[in-house]
Chain A
């Protein structure tokens, strides 16, 4: 499948990266650029994040779910699992959940697979504590809920003299891994990817620029708005957060959800390594924008509305004392319990995690099939 066109924004940013001699590549966007398996190709509607009327965006409702349903899966929506139950052998025996009418139900199971991500998964495991598993299910290591990682994300943006693609295309055009690998000279380990944005629409531009103080109230508003609107280029550093046990998910002692299930409590501080990485990314991002001819350069650090991917709280590993699931996703403690979400990450990676989560889920599913004869050994 070919990449998205470079567009005006991509071409301008690509020239800037070439000028600096830095790596870049057209971005994958999870969007079909040609007709594909019954889905029509992208026609640049622009509003990819909330949904795609064209069906070009590969969201799970039109990719995995139809295939699963055709294979005979029963999907029960508007349900909320309270706990995973276990039997006298220490195996998972099913789940207790509330159905769409709020009625408590029990679903027996031979195998339980969790995909609730970095907060929901530890919450469920911790809420599944029992006499046999007093510290929560699958938690003999004590690591369920610990090592919570996000993607601290610094965004730099500026304005160029020529029109950009604005919000009339998928938001991301290029990325770069120039600063992805460890370089000791930088003062931090691991690194970050740059993600390049094509621009935004008028409402977003007006609200964001006013809040940033570059779009005035009053007489000069219109002149300034026309200078900014449709002229934005953006670059974001998506940093590889590292595992730190004090960043964690626990159960709140007071808060409960509408079903009375204890709510998760999140404790997290951006670490020193990630802070240094953000600072490095901001400096390099400003250089890129300057090379692209941008002015009025602004920084959001960290951004508030993205990058908070939920990772690391049921980490994968071969040592049961230092991990929650083994190298193919099975709980070390409960041999018919599998986890296939971002909680099994051991570091966060400096990229958006969905593709990796999918790869892990597919890998674990393949492993389960291949090991079916001795899956619980």
Chain B
């Protein structure tokens, strides 16, 4: 055991004995691992938010379609759906796009019935729209920043209505540490939203909650009952029903990414990895061969020399991986994904003004360690083995 520790010690010293090689290999590994960890952290963070959005929402979402395109759905469908066995609750919702201000800032206006909204929420600075009050708005952090709005500020009319425009009032602003979709959101009551879009008696989607294990039956029943003439006053519109399972099935599992900039990162990873391989196997090779030959000449065995090389590689890999994890955390937590978040989250600039979701978990960190070990050992072990198995005099030449 003591003998092994002595050899391990020389392996660690070897890192310091060859500073150029160590620094180059370490730097190349960090360059390789850092964007990988950051990108993966962003992917996992966004994925986690998407999963929460799905799991914490309704069981089914019913939208309308006309002429093969998404369209509104009549509020009369609410009572039709409520009668279906297995349905617990139905809530209409309006989700639409509005453009605000001279800067033409795009926002997502969401309207929900007042009885759906709680009295209070910890995710908001300020208050929620009050029941019976018109045009009280809770806005997202990005909207507040771009339009320079605070709680209590009025908002000039940003829409046209045949009944006239109304001045709205900001009653609350979402806290910045919420999901990214709050950034450009305007939350208000259903009636206020209907007024903004000048649409009465319709919603963009209906949120349906079902009894356990009844989603499939309810989904089929909704499609049957709403498809033809069950909704008075509604033009024939084929409903589209999306379930929670439909959404969850969209999310890729594991680390399979088929498209997008992340594929570029994989290419970069492997190109840099190959460079590290070449560097670690070639840089200082004559000196390293000679050193191995000298040690062999003084009585070192091949396996002891290889162990020394392995320890050196493991030390560099571990140092590079841990440093990459720390730098990735700094980049994501402190830097808020500066310069990289925009690649994966649309609408954010180089310096996002919303809190970019990320998730640094042990599995990608372990994968990063394995990857760096493979790269380093591939470069070191072969050349060390060649030198260690050669006669000492030959290795020393």
A binds B: no
